[in-house]
Every structure is written in structure tokens, then in C-alpha cells.
Amino acid sequence: MKISYQLILLITIFLISLLGIQFIYYINIKNLTEEETETYALKMVEQIEKEVTNHFTDIIRIAYTLSYSSDTQDLLTAETPVVKYESSSKFLELRKHLLRSNKDIDRLILHSADNRVISPNEFPISELLNSEYNYLNSLKQRQFTRLYNLKSNGRENFSLIYPVYNLDDNFSHEIIGYSIAVSNIEFLETLISETEIPNKYEFYILDTQNTIAAASERINNGMIFPLQLSGNIPEGTFIEMEYQKKPILFSSKDISDTGWKVCAVIPISMVNTKLVRIRNIGFFISLVFLIILLSVGAVISRSITRPIDRVVEFAASVVDHSTRKRLDLPKGNEMRILSECINSMLDRMDLMNRKILDTKTSLLKVELEKKKAELENLQAQINPHFLYNTLECLRSLGVHYESDEITEISTAMADIFRYSIKGDEITTIKNEMDCIGQYLKIISIRFQDRFRFTVNIDENIFNCKLPKMTLQPIVENAVYHGLEPKLGNGELSIRGYRKENNLCISIYDNGIGISKEISESINNYTEAYISEKRSMGLLNINKRIKIRFGSNYGIQIKSQRGKGTYVNVELPIH
């Protein structure tokens, strides 16, 4: 798979993982938000329930005080008018005092067991009891009533009915009357309104018949609570229900010993509204990450995958065509270093190819030179007896006429001729120097000792190998083209020595010298500026050495017009 495809796959996997994390995060935040919302609402329900309970407890305390005071007991059990009158006066004082202690209690009523209103007489008890007098007869313990509306004051009220037992009769548990505390609902409305209720949260206080006594929305007061409440709703928890065709979270808590309830309604849409911002933030973060990923992917594609594709295409083109092309990548990253390494490798390959080509060329030249030498050798061997006989005839004439010069020249020439055409092409330094010695004899006779020759060869190189007739032509060139044109005597010196792993032979003459252009052409292995036969001979010797042993070997010429020529021959030691 291409790196670009792998990069796209990696980005896709990362995005899917990011969306998965966002989804899990959203679900957890949703659950946490709902939990915090429910916890907060339950605390508010408990707070309202606690306030209502405290208020109801105060009403119970007042009703209890009224029911079991001695004056109330005397008033309900009085048998004579005098006792009843005295007790009534004291009862009214107590009642007045208790009413002052709680401003939310509108009336304190004492009702006898035989359905007589003892005090106050002006209170329309029929409105309170709704003409159901038997209701009191069946009541055995205190009880808060449902809401009701008194025409006398035009307000919603509720009452606490407290049975009054005869304290003088501890065995019969006789109910001698009822204390009724009539309260308005203003304190409940005030309690709800003063509670800091979040927007769209709804709290209700319900009476025993699920009538709304107080609510966060006052327009609902006095209405029947629309939800069907059952005893299966556990306290301290929220359940999902439908209210006004909208999903809600609902919870209720009973106000102990009253039959009343505190309810909380939270629209789920409100919870979701809180989550919308979190969800939008999550989507925004995902979008930012997507942009960052795409940007990083584009940068990686530009700086890595594209250069890699270019490297692959370049490698294919190099394989299919040649190594002359070079890879050019922008600077600034490791791919540039890779391209430089590839280009360096191609440069080395080109150099190796050139070396291989040069080696093959050299081998071909060596082979050609060898074939040429073989042809020349074969040609030189044509009718050798004629040449030997001619030289032998010259030697015989020299002996007959007692001419030592002719004898020595013919003998030396025969030895040189025999050396040049017989044996292997490779010879030793000693054999080459013997040939040069014969040649110098001829030169000495011819020029009548006009030239002085000096030969200094280290004995430890006598057995070193070199191509036959390598040094003799150089010596011959030095004599005929350097010393002979010179006026006066001349000097020729030959020195041989070992230099590290190379063999060095230096030939010096103090003749007329050669031009700088010709010496440089010979040294550089070129034929420029060369027209003299002498120079062509030196160039050919240089070519023979380089073809056979390599470009590190050959001859080097240092010459100055009118002062002489220095030729150095460098060969590998064999």
C-alpha cells in the first residue's frame, strides 16, 4: 500500500476514534449533567419540604397548645353556665395569644364533639366542612385538609383538624371536641417565590387531593395537578414522564404526617439545552482537529510522500534508461539528504562505469598493441638468416681488414637485433641494460668518444621486469635528438632505483632539449603539438606503459631549451 494511502487510512482511523471519544464524552457529560440537575433539584425539593414541614409543625404546635390547655378542657367539659363562661373568657385570651404567634393562621376554631361551634360563633363552619359533619366524627388523629375557598374572605385556605381528647378520663379515650387551625397559603406562595429556582424548573406544593397549593408559576395555583401520581414513585429519585406532551424529569417528596407533597418538574429539553453548548464545543474541537489533521497530512504529503513518489519515479527512470539524470528535491528535510546520497551513488556508478570503460579500452589497446607487436615480430623474422649473414659478413670483413670498429659495430648490432626479436616481450632490467650497453658501444665508435655515458643501476632491481625495448628507444632519442645536434661534447646519464613499490629509471642528457608544449603533450598522454619523430617515439612508449600497467605509470619529461632533457620512467615492480 502506498504511503499516501496509509496516511489517509491513519487520518480516517484517528477521526473515527476522535468521534468515538467525543460520543462517549458527550454521553458521560449528559449523564453527569442529568445527575447534577437531579441532585440540585432534589436539594431544592428537600429545602422546600423542610420549610413547609417547619411551618406545619408550628401550626401543629399551636393546635396542640389550644387543644390541651386546661381552659379548653374546662370549656368542653363544663356542665354549668358559670364554669363555661369563666373557661370561655380564658380560652379566648389563649386563642388571641396563639393567633398573634403565627400570622399565617387566620382562625382558631374550637368545635365540640356534638357538632357545636363553641368559638368563634361567627365563623361559617359549614363552608369548612362542606355540610359533612360526619367527617369530624370519624377523625381520630390530627389531619391537614385539602384546599378550599371561603366565600367569606375569597381566599384559598387549608386547615389542621386536631382531635381533643378528655384528659380527665385516661381510660375511655373520649373525644370531646376538635381544634381547627385555618391557614392561608400566602406563606407557601412566599416560600416558593423567594426560593431561587432556575429558569424552566417547576416546583409544586400539593394538598391531600393533589390540588396545587403553591407553584413557581402562580397561574397554576388552585388547579388539580395534571400528572397522575401513584405511590410507585420512589422518593429521592427522578423518573421520566410526559407532561404537556413534552418529556420531563419528575420527582416528589411527601411532607411527613400531612398527606401533602412537594413536586419538581424539569423539562428534559432544558437539560439538553445545557448539552447543546457542550456538543457544539465538541463538534468545534473535532472540526479544529480535522483541519489540523488535514493540514498535517498536507504537510506530510508535501514533505514526505511526494518526495518519496519522486524518488520511486526517478529510480524507475534510472533503471529503464540511464544514470545521467540526477534527483533534485527541495532543501529543508531528510529527503534532500536522501536525494544527495542517491546522486552521490549515481556519480560513483558513473565513475565506475567510466573506469570499466577505460579498462576495457585499455585492454583492447593492449590487445591491439600485442597483435601489432606480433605482426611486427613476424615481419622482423622474415628471412632472419639474411640479416644475420649480412652482419656476419660485415664482421668478417672487419676481421679480414683488421678493422676493430667494424667488428665491434656489427657484433653489437647483431646482439641488439637478436635481443629485440627473440624471447618474450617482457624482460629484466639487466637484459635491457645489456642491450643499451651494446647500443652505447656503437655510439661511442661512431662519435669517437664525443659523448660521456654514466650508468648507475641498483643491483637489487636487476631482476625487475619491464616491457622489452622500453629504455633503449629513450636512450637513442637522447643521443640523436638531444646530444648530436649539440655543439661540443655531451653527457648522458642513466640511473635506476626502487621507490617504495615502484621502479624508477631516469635518463638525463644535456642536449638541446625540447619545447614545453611537446613535453606537456607527452606527459598528458596527448598528441597535440607533436610532429617530430623523436616526440612520437616517446609518446608511443608512454602509451605502451599506461596501456599495460595503468594511468599511474608512464614517463614524465622535464626539459628546457638549450639546457637538456630529463626523462623519468616509472613502472610497477614485478
pLDDT at residue 389 tops 60? no
The stretch 434-438 carries a mean pLDDT of: 91
Shared-domain flag, residues 38 and 125: yes
Question: Tens digits of per-residue pLDDT, 121-155?
Answer: 545 555 555 533 445 556 778 888 888 876 666 67
In a domain, 468, yes or no: yes
Shared-domain flag, residues 250 and 180: yes
Q: Give residue 375's pLDDT.
A: 56
Shared-domain flag, residues 100 and 245: yes
Reported as a pLDDT band with limits 50, 70 and 90, residue 505 is: very high
Which of the listed residues 269, 287, 314 is the one where a domain comes to its end? Answer: 269
Q: Name every residue whose Cβ is closer than 8 Å to that of residue 283 and which is 6 or more positions away in sequence.
A: 22
In a domain, 511, yes or no: yes
Q: How far apart, in whole angstroms, are the C-alpha atoms of residue 126 and residue 152? A: 12
Q: How far apart, in whole angstroms, are the C-alpha atoms of residue 212 and residue 188? A: 11
Q: Give residue 58's pLDDT.
A: 92
Shared-domain flag, residues 40 and 104: yes
In a domain, 57, yes or no: yes
In a domain, 85, yes or no: yes
Reported as a pLDDT band with limits 50, 70 and 90, residue 383 is: very low
Q: Give residue 345's pLDDT.
A: 81
Q: Give residue 331's pLDDT.
A: 66
Lowest mean pLDDT of 112-116, 288-292, 477-481, 539-543, name the range.
112-116
In a domain, 317, yes or no: no
Q: If we measure between CA atoms, which residue out of 560, 461, 472 comes closest to residue 519?
A: 560
In a domain, 16, yes or no: no
Q: How far apart, in whole angstroms, are the C-alpha atoms of residue 393 and residue 125? A: 184
Shared-domain flag, residues 498 and 366: no
Shared-domain flag, residues 427 and 366: no
Pick the residue with more confidence: 483 or 414? 483
Counting Cα atoms < 13 Å in the Cβ hemisphere of 114 gives 3
Q: If we measure between CA atoms, which residue out of 533, 528, 523 comes closest to residue 555?
A: 523
Q: How far apart, in whole angstroms, are the C-alpha atoms of residue 212 and residue 147? A: 9
Q: How far apart, in whole angstroms, are the C-alpha atoms of residue 323 and residue 315? A: 9
Shared-domain flag, residues 434 and 347: no
Chain CA centroid to CA 107, Å: 81
Chain CA centroid to CA 522, Å: 63
How many domains does one find in the chain?
A: 3
Shared-domain flag, residues 236 and 352: no
Shared-domain flag, residues 85 and 231: yes
* CATH number, domain containing residue 46: 3.30.450.20
Q: How far apart, in whole angstroms, are the C-alpha atoms of residue 258 and residue 316? A: 93
In a domain, 46, yes or no: yes
Look up the pTM and report it. 0.48
Q: How far apart, in whole angstroms, are the C-alpha atoms of residue 566 and residue 439? A: 20
Q: Considering the chain, what percentage of its residues have pLDDT values greater than 70?
A: 76
Shared-domain flag, residues 450 and 556: yes
- Expressed as residue numbers, the domain containing 263 is 32-269
* CATH number, domain containing residue 557: 3.30.565.10
Shared-domain flag, residues 482 and 349: no
Shared-domain flag, residues 356 and 252: no
In a domain, 238, yes or no: yes
C-alpha cell at 360: 576495457
Q: How far apart, in whole angstroms, are the C-alpha atoms of residue 387 and residue 406? A: 16
